[in-house]
Amino acid sequence: MNDQQLVELLQKVPRELPVDDALWVGVENRLKKRGQKINRQAVVAIAVSLLLLLGAVMVLELYQRTEIKPSSLVSNPTERPIIERHGFLRNGAGMQYANHIESEFGGVQQHYRILYSFAASSVPEDLTVELIESLDLIEQSARDIRAAIKVEPDAIYLAQLLMGLYQQQMNFLNQTLVKYQQLNDDRTVI
C-alpha cells in the first residue's frame, strides 16, 4: 500500500460522530449560566465603578479643597445697596433677598454636607457629637430666621442675618473638615 492509497482510505474515514441531544442541553445550560454570570458581573462592576467614582471625587475634594469659595454675596454684601444691586422689589425685598441667599448657598451647603459625612465616617463618634449639636443649633437658628422673614418680608436685615448664619455654618464645617483630615492623617501614620 502506498501513501496515495492510504490517503484515499483516510478520506473515507467518517468525519462526523453521532450526537445525542444531551450534548446541546449541556451547551445551552452553560450559555444561560454564562449570560447570568455576565449580567451579575456587569451589575457589580457598574456598582463598584460608581462607588469608586463617588469615593474618588469626594476624597479629591476633601484633600484639595479646604477653603470655601466665597460667593459674591458673602464677599462684600454691603458694597452697594442690596435692593438696587439685585433689582428686588420694595415689597418683600427681605424675602426675595433670603430666597436669593438660599439658592446661592444651597449648592455649597450640599457639597459640604457630603464632604462632612464622608470625613466624619472615619472619625470616632465621640469627636463628632459636639459638631452635630452645633450644626443642629445652626439649622434651628436658620429655621427661626426664615419664620421671622415670613412675618416681616420687607426686612432685609433678617435676610442678612440668615446669610451670616450660613456663612458661619460653612466656616464651621470647613474648619471641622480640616481637623478631621488631620485626624485621619495622624491615624494613617500611626
Partner 1 sequence: MADQTASSATQYVVERAQKGDVKAFEILYQEHIGRVLGLCWKLTGGDDSLARELAQDSFVRAWEKLPSFRGDSALGTWLYRLVVNLVLTDKRSKKRRMKLEQVVDMNELQIAGQSGDVNARIDLQSAIVKLPERARMVLVLHDIEGWKHKEISASLSMAVGTSKAQLHRARQLLKEVLVR
In terms of CB distance, is 6 or 147 closer to partner 1? 6
CA distance 42 to 44: 5
Shortest Å, Cβ 167 to partner 1: 57
Shortest Å, Cβ 33 to partner 1: 10
SS3 88: coil
Which residues are within 8 A (CB) of 161 and not within 5 positions of it... i.e. 6 or more apart?
145
Shortest Å, Cβ 24 to partner 1: 6
Shortest Å, Cβ 97 to partner 1: 59
Asked if residue 74 lies in contact with residue 81, where contact means CB atoms within 8 angstroms, the answer is no
In terms of CB distance, is 24 or 63 closer to partner 1? 24
In terms of CB distance, is 19 or 190 closer to partner 1? 19
Shortest Å, Cβ 45 to partner 1: 17
Integer angstrom CA distances of residue 147 from 105, 125, 126, 151, 168: 18, 33, 33, 7, 19
> Residue 30 corresponds to which cell in the numbers above?
452553560
Asked if residue 138 lies in contact with residue 163, where contact means CB atoms within 8 angstroms, the answer is no
Phi then psi for 63, rounded to 5 degrees? -90, -20
In terms of CB distance, is 29 or 182 closer to partner 1? 29
In terms of CB distance, is 18 or 87 closer to partner 1? 18
The contact set with partner 1 (CB under 8 A) reads: 1, 3, 6-7, 9-19, 23-24, 26-28, 30-31, 34
CA distance 118 to 127: 14
Cα 104 versus chain centre, distance? 19
In terms of CB distance, is 16 or 79 closer to partner 1? 16
Shortest Å, Cβ 40 to partner 1: 17
Cα 172 versus chain centre, distance? 20
